[in-house]
Amino acid sequence: MDNNIFNILKKYFGYSSFRQGQENIIQSIIDGHDTFAIMPTGGGKSICYQIPALYMNGLTIVITPLISLMKDQVDTLRENGVNASYINSTLSQKETNDTLMSALSGHLKILYVAPERLEQEYFRNAIKDLPVAMVAVDEAHCVSQWGHDFRVSYKRIVPFINIFDKRPILAAFTATATDEVKKDIINLLELREPNSFITGFDRDNLFFSIVKNENKFDFITKYLAKHKDVSGIIYAATRKEVDSLHQKLLSQGYAVGKYHAGMSDNDRSKSQDLFLYDETKLMIATNAFGMGIDKSNVRFVIHYNMPKNLESYYQEAGRAGRDGEKSECIILFSGQDIQIQKFLIRQSIPSFDRQRIEMKKLNDMINYCMTTSCLRKYILNYFGEDYEVDNCDNCINCTGNVEIVDITLDAQKIISCIYRMGQNFGVTMIAEVLKGSKNNKVLRFNFDKLSTYGIMKDYTLKQITNFINTLIADGYLYLSDSEYPIVKMSKESIDVLKGSKKVVQKIHIVAELSLSTDNNLFEILKGLRLELSRKENVPPYIIFSDAVLSEMCKYYPKDKISMLQIKGIGELKYSKYGEIFEKKIKEYIKETNLTPEDNKATLIVPEILSKKLPTHIETFNLYKKGLNLSEIAKARNLSITTVQEHILKCANEGLNVNLDSYIPEEYKDLIYEKIKTLGTSKLRPIKEALPDDVDYMAIKSAIFKYTSKNKAI
């Protein structure tokens, strides 16, 4: 293990440990291997190429699709003291030349460019004789036609690599994990015997939920009322929907921005900047917004409509909580969303084969919205990861943060009306009959003679429509596949009519997001950060993320040593802002008369010891004392699986753990053989292929040893 990379991590980025996978990826690159890494959005891909770039001699070129975000990435690096630049069409010729000169002089370590730039002769000529150590391809799925963001110019990467006498190391990064895309990236970028890494897809700070039975707009207003001061994104399916939602929220006095492909470039980038700079807290957007957005303090991502597949969903939802603080990802689901997505697939994809694939993905997405078991488990299994815990305690299905209302009687009224109307009409017409409307169509069909006519007249039409949609979302009714969807009864509806099944509606209890810190100080420090950000013309989170401020409010650091203990403050950041923040904190302590007796936290962190140890290290300490896994689990009140994960994490960080002791000698060869033939992405098939007394820890340990020996998967 190379200590230098830890030093770089601490010095430039202010972190003292790597996240899962980062270290192996970095090591692979600096060992000179082409490297391919799949990490979830927000998982921490950037430092996987930034640290090798700082470690190796020569220049690193980062290819990234969105020019609008390069400045942001470069600003962040410069704030951290890294010599980075970008070249794109927003620069003048002189600025471009200056940047190239600084690359030629050997000062520049990281250069961001868009793939289109690689086609330009003068750029290739200027670069070709430089010692380029690595080319890092961000959002590498853009090279694949199977990916959702295909970019023709990604095809220019291979010819570009070939202009160098000495081929740079090629490293590709993406968050998309489907098989076609994986294969495509390796083939189309011509990666040479790459080491491939798929890091855990779990984002444990994200809370997942589905809201099925409520009026969407009412939910949004209820939600926003409780989340006034935090940043969030609301994704809607169409431009029209974005415009209308934006208008409605504006008229209710919310400071909201919008973003979709129908706006001018100028309006879009203005709107994006206001959001990045925390001037508008809320962004309403289509999926055109967000690729590469690394605003770290997005506290919630709400999907106003169900997205078309889980790949897009997890990517968009993953924009919440990049700073590791608790954040929420919500889908507002209605039966019509299914129709809309089916319609869009049929409209936009000519090939029947592709349509079939997309329909299958859509089905998986619908099932995610319908499932009553753990949402996190569903997502992780979808991405091919085993998640053995049945209750994550961090999604709506596991926590049950809902109020339950019995709506059986209304459901019976609706279903019997549908039955009497011959199961031949759409949602609106059914609602009209239940309401007792006198519209022509109702009268023409003699529906005013039905016993169910007007049986729900005390409700508004909208409420009745919502009821019907609820029943569709819960599977009591379903919509036909025709152009004008007809509401049909399912097997379940008969049970409801007969009274043998109850129908309940779950109403979400919206809880306030709370940072576990001193909120008054948090507001003060946020104010200071905003002031500095305006002065320096960078977004606030580039100065310090919310997570950093929140740690300050927990530990009240008052000097350099304690400041440097805060996750996210490196030496360079400290030298720039440390003292200004220290001063504010000291003032606050004085003004509020905080004393160590009043507030234990003010005693804080003159040294590492006073900070809580990372949980896996606490496990490690017990392990070192000789406790076995179940003893540790008992002592720490954790599940065995968690303790196993801790031990593997320690091994991954290079701590001295004897994994061999978990692999039974007599089955050792057999285990490795199964790993080799079945691959390492799923545990269950391996477990099933082995005798019962080989447990998961044996398999995980063997996989760990196997992959660290043969890093290529």
Residues at the site binding ligand ADP, with contacts judged by CB under 6 A: 15, 18-19, 22, 39, 41-47, 294, 296, 322-323, 545, 567
Q: Smallest distance, Å, CB 511 to ligand ADP? A: 25
Greatest Cα pair distance in the chain: 88
Q: Smallest distance, Å, CB 319 to ligand ADP? A: 8
CB atoms within 10 A of CB 692: 7
Of 320 and 663, the one with the shorter C-beta distance to ligand ADP is 320
Q: Are 263 and 314 in contact (CB under 8 A)?
A: no
Q: Smallest distance, Å, CB 24 to ligand ADP? A: 13
Of 9 and 648, the one with the shorter C-beta distance to ligand ADP is 9
Distance CA 690, CA 666 (A): 12
Q: Token digits for 177? A: 């994990």
Closest residue by Cα to residue 4 from 27, 32, 36, 33: 27
Distance CA 562, CA 58 (A): 35
Distances (CA, A) of 5 to 23, 24, 25, 197, 618: 8, 11, 12, 18, 24
Q: Smallest distance, Å, CB 450 to ligand ADP? A: 56
Q: Token digits for 686? A: 């391996």
Q: Smallest distance, Å, CB 186 to ligand ADP? A: 19
Closest residue by Cα to residue 705 from 660, 664, 646: 660
Q: Smallest distance, Å, CB 257 to ligand ADP? A: 21
Of 173 and 478, the one with the shorter C-beta distance to ligand ADP is 173
Of 205 and 355, the one with the shorter C-beta distance to ligand ADP is 205
Of 25 and 47, the one with the shorter C-beta distance to ligand ADP is 47
Q: Smallest distance, Å, CB 654 to ligand ADP? A: 15
Of 45 and 435, the one with the shorter C-beta distance to ligand ADP is 45
Distance CA 212, CA 228 (A): 23
Task: Please give the distance of CA 468 from its chain centroid, rounded to a whole number.
Answer: 32
Q: Smallest distance, Å, CB 502 to ligand ADP? A: 44
Residue 55: CA count within 13 A, CB half-sphere: 22
**φ/ψ of residue 270, rounded to 5:** -65, -45
SS3 content of the chain, % helix, strand, coil (to 5): 50, 10, 35
Distance CA 93, CA 85 (A): 15
Q: Is 499 exposed, middle or buried (0-12, 13-18, 19+ CB in 10 A)?
A: exposed
Q: Smallest distance, Å, CB 611 to ligand ADP? A: 15
Q: Amino acid identity of 649?
A: K
Task: Please give the distance of CA 128 from its chain centroid, rounded to a whole number.
Answer: 37
Q: Are 496 and 476 in contact (CB under 8 A)?
A: yes
Of 437 and 545, the one with the shorter C-beta distance to ligand ADP is 545
**φ/ψ of residue 169, rounded to 5:** -70, 140
Q: Smallest distance, Å, CB 174 to ligand ADP? A: 10
Q: Smallest distance, Å, CB 64 to ligand ADP? A: 10
Tell me which H or E stretch contains 285. strand 282-285
Q: Is 466 exposed, middle or buried (0-12, 13-18, 19+ CB in 10 A)?
A: buried
Closest residue by Cα to residue 67 from 128, 139, 158, 123: 139
Q: Smallest distance, Å, CB 9 to ligand ADP? A: 7
**φ/ψ of residue 235, rounded to 5:** -95, 130
Of 46 and 231, the one with the shorter C-beta distance to ligand ADP is 46
List the end-to-end C-alpha distance of the chain, in Å, as a whole number: 20
Of 39 and 477, the one with the shorter C-beta distance to ligand ADP is 39
Distance CA 406, CA 98 (A): 69
Of 140 and 362, the one with the shorter C-beta distance to ligand ADP is 140
Q: Are 701 and 708 in contact (CB under 8 A)?
A: no
Q: Smallest distance, Å, CB 669 to ligand ADP? A: 36
Of 41 and 178, the one with the shorter C-beta distance to ligand ADP is 41
Residues linked to residue 708 through DSSP beta bridges, in sequence order: none
Residues in the chain: 713
Of 184 and 653, the one with the shorter C-beta distance to ligand ADP is 653
Distance CA 320, CA 322 (A): 6
Of 30 and 421, the one with the shorter C-beta distance to ligand ADP is 30
Q: Smallest distance, Å, CB 373 to ligand ADP? A: 27
Q: Are 533 and 277 in contact (CB under 8 A)?
A: yes
Of 42 and 115, the one with the shorter C-beta distance to ligand ADP is 42
Of 195 and 296, the one with the shorter C-beta distance to ligand ADP is 296
Q: Smallest distance, Å, CB 238 to ligand ADP? A: 26
Distance CA 374, CA 454 (A): 40
Q: Are 351 and 329 in contact (CB under 8 A)?
A: no
Distance CA 153, CA 131 (A): 24
Q: Smallest distance, Å, CB 148 to ligand ADP? A: 16
Of 476 and 522, the one with the shorter C-beta distance to ligand ADP is 522
